[in-house]
């Protein structure tokens, strides 16, 4: 019985498997997608993480994430979507590892004992929470505001450089940056209230 069902599922396209999973939550659909794409996910992980063990672990993490994400996410091109999910998971791991290295390095440089290490950890957690809130808030800005704020504050370009790069007038650039900055503040304040 399972082999018949499995053969039928094997013949489905990636998007048909996704749709079938969304309707039935049949893990056999994910198993087939795993068989088809795990080697590609591993390759992406290896490209970013440059570590075999971390890459193998990340393949499992990505497919575990799919179990939940696919229930609610509209997917038009599974392979492209899977690539983005994999890349984002790898980047989050790299950021976490970088934060841990920075913390250890800071503790060693300053010569802190473990008594003060917890305070440093809390400072890093607060900083990371603020960065996460900022990233989330940036996604909610209007595209023009997001672009101008990103170029001005994160890429440290001048008003004139932002205008040249975007094609907006200098007046528009200043307005987008000012309104974007204000909206970021409001969005982050709202996020703080909710957390």
Report pLDDT digits (tens) over 66-88: 988 888 888 889 999 999 999 99
Between 16 and 133, residue with greater pLDDT: 16
Residue ranges of domains in the chain: 1-111, 118-195
Percent with pLDDT over 90 in the chain = 35
- CATH architecture, domain defined by 118-195: Orthogonal Bundle (1.10)
Q: Tell me the C-alpha distance between 38 and 46, whole Å.
A: 12
Q: For position 52, what pLDDT does the model report?
A: 93
* 1-111 and 118-195, same CATH topology: no
Average pLDDT, the chain: 83
- Dihedral through CA 186, CA 156, CA 125, CA 87, nearest 10? 100
pLDDT in tens, 12-49: 899 999 999 989 888 899 999 999 999 999 999 999 99
Residue 141: name the closest of 195, 192, 178, 92 by CA: 178
The CATH classification number of 1-111 equals 1.10.1740.10
Q: Tell me the C-alpha distance between 149 and 174, whole Å.
A: 10
Q: For position 54, what pLDDT does the model report?
A: 92
In this prediction the pTM is: 0.53
Q: Which residue has the tokens 């504050």?
A: 153
């Amino acid at each position: 019985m399972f082999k018949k069902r499995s053969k039928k599922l094997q013949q489905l396209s990636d998007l048909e498997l996704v749709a079938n999973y969304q309707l039935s939550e049949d893990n056999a659909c994910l198993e087939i997608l795993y068989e088809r794409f795990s080697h590609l996910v591993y390759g992406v992980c290896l490209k970013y993480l440059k570590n075999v063990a971390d890459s193998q672990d990340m393949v499992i993490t990505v497919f575990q994430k799919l179990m939940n994400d696919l229930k609610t996410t509209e997917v038009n091109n599974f392979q492209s979507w899977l690539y983005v999910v994999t890349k984002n998971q790898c980047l989050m791991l790299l950021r976490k590892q970088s934060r841990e290295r920075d913390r250890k390095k800071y503790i060693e440089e300053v010569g802190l004992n473990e008594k003060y290490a917890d305070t440093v950890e809390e400072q890093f957690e607060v900083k990371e929470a603020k960065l996460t809130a900022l990233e989330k808030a940036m996604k909610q800005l209007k595209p023009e505001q997001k672009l101008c704020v990103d170029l001005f504050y994160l890429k440290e370009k001048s008003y004139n450089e932002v205008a040249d790069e975007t094609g907006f007038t200098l007046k528009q650039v200043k307005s987008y940056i000012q309104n974007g900055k204000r909206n970021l503040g409001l969005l982050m304040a709202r996020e703080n209230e909710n957390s």
